């Protein structure tokens, strides 16, 4: 029995096919989002090190410039590739919301680091106040949670789902009870 017949139990292929049908678009969006984010991370890393090391710019200024450039590239990549099929709103609105939610994502990573270093580190400093613990809390836990938040918020609030706008009722419609 193949699972394609009515009343037949679903086969592995049928279940996997159903999952792909239901979540395939989400997996494609997540893959594109991760690609754009990885590229932006590399630009941020390379530009920061170039400005700080080669151009001898103060680290905070170098990081500010590299972050703004990388975030702008991430915005463009997500707007015109990841979510190009989504309805467009005013570009300034999208850009402002993108940077806002990017800042919240950064705050999540910083909060994870602070909780590890200062909260858990106060209890067990030899484990949680080490460079390894800082990197795990910041880059693995914090960046992971921040990335999930960014994906959800960009998808929900910045690059909104295309929909059919409501049609306003006319006085004639109201009179006829339609």
Answer yes or no: are the C-beta atoms of 87 and 163 closer than 8 Å. Answer: yes
Distance, in Å, from the CA atom of 105 to the CA atom of 125, rounded to the nearest integer, reads: 26
Q: Which distant-in-sequence residues (6+ apart) come within 8 Å of 72 by Cβ?
A: none
Characterise 21 by phi-psi region: left (phi > 0), alpha (psi -120 to 50), beta (else).
alpha
- Alpha-helix runs per DSSP H in 1-58: 12-49
Is the sign of the CA dihedral 111, 113, 116, 117 positive or negative?
A: negative
**Is the pLDDT assigned to residue 176 strictly greater than 60?**
no
pLDDT digits (tens, 9 = 90+) for 110-127: 888 889 989 998 999 998
Per-residue pLDDT band for 148 (boundaries 50, 70, 90) equals: very high
What percentage of residues in the chain have a pLDDT greater than 70?
Answer: 82
| pLDDT (mean) for 34-50 | 91
pLDDT at 61: 83
């Amino acid at each position: 029995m193949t699972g394609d017949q009515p009343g037949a139990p679903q086969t592995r292929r049928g279940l996997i096919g159903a999952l792909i049908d239901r979540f395939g678009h989400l997996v494609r969006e997540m893959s594109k989002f991760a690609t754009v984010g990885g590229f932006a991370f590399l630009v941020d890393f390379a530009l920061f090190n170039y400005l700080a090391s080669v151009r001898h710019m103060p680290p905070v200024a170098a990081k500010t410039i590299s972050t703004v450039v990388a975030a702008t590239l991430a915005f463009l990549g997500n707007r015109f590739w990841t979510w190009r099929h989504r309805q467009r709103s005013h570009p300034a609105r999208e850009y402002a919301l993108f940077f806002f939610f990017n800042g919240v994502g950064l705050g999540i990573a910083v909060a994870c680091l602070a909780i590890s270093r200062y909260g858990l580190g106060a209890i067990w400093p030899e484990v949680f106040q080490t460079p390894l613990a800082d990197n795990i809390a910041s880059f693995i836990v914090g960046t992971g949670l921040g990335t999930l938040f960014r994906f959800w918020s960009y998808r929900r609030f910045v690059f909104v789902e295309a929909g059919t706008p409501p049609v306003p009722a006319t006085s004639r419609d109201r009179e006829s009870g339609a």
